[in-house]
Structure 1
Amino acid sequence: MRTSLRTILAACCIAASATILRAQELSAPGLPADTARTCPPAAATAATASGAPIAEHPKTINEKRRERGLTDPRNLFVPKGQWVFGGTASYSTHTNEGYQFLIVEGIDSKGYTVRVSPMIAYALTDNMALGGRFIYSRTLLELDKAELQLGDEGSDTDLKANNYYSLRHNYSVAAIWRQYIPLGRNKRFALFNETQLSVGGTQARFTNDSPVKGTYETGYTLSLGISPGIVAFATNNMAVEVNVGVMGISYTHTKQVHNQVTVGKRNTSMMNFKVNIFSIGLGMAFYL
């Protein structure tokens, strides 16, 4: 009887040992993740039992950027291989009759300004496009008369302008780089930033007084600017865009010839870090 009990106890011990060994094999590397997670490593179990914190691998800069979502490839707005055609246009006109502005009195003038800027770009990668833009503007001002008065009666200074005429043409070509930033998972609205590297020229004519005195002016400009904006899709292929210049660096060289005799030159450079309200553009674009 005692021998039978000893045999049964030995068999139970052997079965228990086999079960423990089998559990350890299931937690070994190379098995499915769900199975391995059911049996934590001995080191982690020991660290948890002792109350010591488990060391975590520090995140890299690229991992933190992906968490922010700006470089998340799932935030697709403009896919690779898409063409973008668009542009902006504006026109304004004015007429003054006996108008007074601050200390300038009796203004009789008329004029207009027209500006067009077609654009073409190609998406080399998702949410990024390279292309070109052409910009042309024409400004006309005809001032029949205006009077500037400074001081009071008896000691005032009176300056007058009569028969002043000004016509200016500006044209430039720019290489552009666009980066689109989707607003979350929204597929209709997105922010974009347009960087422009442009070179252009200008021509202008000025005349005044009687007999007529005239000045002819030519020049060129080099500039680097940034214009952020927002784009809203009205349809799947047509969008409305609004952008504004906020900063830029420019260099301008101008040459004047007065009455076909006197020659003058001017060089100007400027670094601008403020919003330019005169560069606000509203236009349309087609994504094909």
Structure 2
Amino acid sequence: MAKGLTPSGRPQRIDRGIMQTVFIPKGQWMAGGTVSYSEHEENNLNFLVIKDVEGLGYTFNVSPYVGYFFRDNMAAGIRAGYNRTYLDLGNFNLNLGEDFNINLKDLYYLEHEYEVSGFLRTYMPIGRSKIFGLFNEVRLTYAYATGKNSTGSGTEYDGTFERTHSFQIGIAPGMSAFITDWSAVEVSVGVMGYSFKWQKQTTNQIETGSRRTSSGNFKINLFSINIGMTFYL
């Protein structure tokens, strides 16, 4: 008899000794959220071919969510989100040689994005621990954003308004650590998956333009780590 086969010739199931431990029991509710904020300011910055950068900007994100455990270690729920991005770039010089120089002044950009997503989250304890566990969240997200970007000032002002619809299917793995019997701190990486985006622009209330993009990203970005708090009721 071949190795790994039953007497009937069928493949033999291997017992790997993995224990099915309950980390979050069926019937519990979960509620929580993540908040992030980053800010930058440049004053006469010079870096390699980038010269005389003057700028100020920030990014703010808040994302509350709620879910219900319909099975042990498995929950379904809904998540909402708001993102605000702001950039005011007073000066930017790109020097690539005597015959190629780019100078930009008075650039302004502001975007508001609102999103809603449904998710399915599964948990797995680390060993037999009741405190530390891993989770993976599958998300289906729709987002709507409005933005404004402009160049110049005074009579040379040029403004463009933009509306964006986007759709995303992705996963977000992470780790959970309980600090009390009913609350836990969570750390997760940015969403990986497929995204589709449709944009429509109007410049000076006259000219219009559009763009459609799609992309797939399955790389873990260590600079997009989110820290949040979850309560279990």
Give the C-alpha shift of residue 279 in structure 1: 3.5
8 Å contact kept, 1:225–1:245 = no
Give the C-alpha shift of residue 93 in structure 1: 1.2
Q: CA–CA distance in 2 between the matches of 1:68 and 1:241?
A: 24
Highest RCO, 1 vs 2 (Cα 8 Å, sep ≥ 6) = 2
Gap regions ≥5 residues in structure 1:
1-54
8 Å contact kept, 1:149–1:156 = no
Q: CA–CA distance in 2 between the matches of 1:278 and 1:176?
A: 23
Look up the equivalent residue of 1:101 and give its one-letter code. Answer: F
Q: Which one has the largest radius of gyration? A: 1
8 Å contact kept, 1:246–1:274 = no
Look up the equivalent residue of 2:158 and give its one-letter code. Answer: K
Question: 2:195 maps to what in 1?
Answer: 250
Give the share of equivalent positions with the same residue, in percent.
Answer: 43
Q: CA–CA distance in 2 between the matches of 1:236 and 1:129?
A: 18
Q: Secondary structure at the match of 1:245?
A: coil
1:172 aligns with 2:118: no
1:130 aligns with 2:58: no
Higher strand share: 2
Give the C-alpha shift of residue 278 in structure 1: 4.8
1:240 aligns with 2:190: no
Q: CA–CA distance in 2 between the matches of 1:232 and 1:273?
A: 25
Higher helix share: 1
1:89 aligns with 2:32: no
Look up the equivalent residue of 2:73 and give its one-letter code. Answer: N
Look up the equivalent residue of 2:107 and give its one-letter code. Answer: Y
Aligned length: 225
What is the TM-score when the length of structure 1 is the normalising length?
Answer: 0.74
Look up the equivalent residue of 1:184 and give its one-letter code. Answer: G
- The root-mean-square deviation of aligned C-alpha atoms, in Å, is 1.9
Look up the equivalent residue of 1:143 and give its one-letter code. Answer: L
**Aligned pairs for 1:262-273 within 5 A:** 262-273=207-218
**Aligned pairs for 1:112-261 within 5 A:** 112-151=58-97, 155-210=98-153, 211-245=156-190, 247-261=192-206
Gap regions ≥5 residues in structure 2:
1-5
1:108 aligns with 2:54: yes
What is the TM-score when the length of structure 2 is the normalising length?
Answer: 0.91
Q: 1:270 to 1:278 in 2, by over 3 A?
A: farther
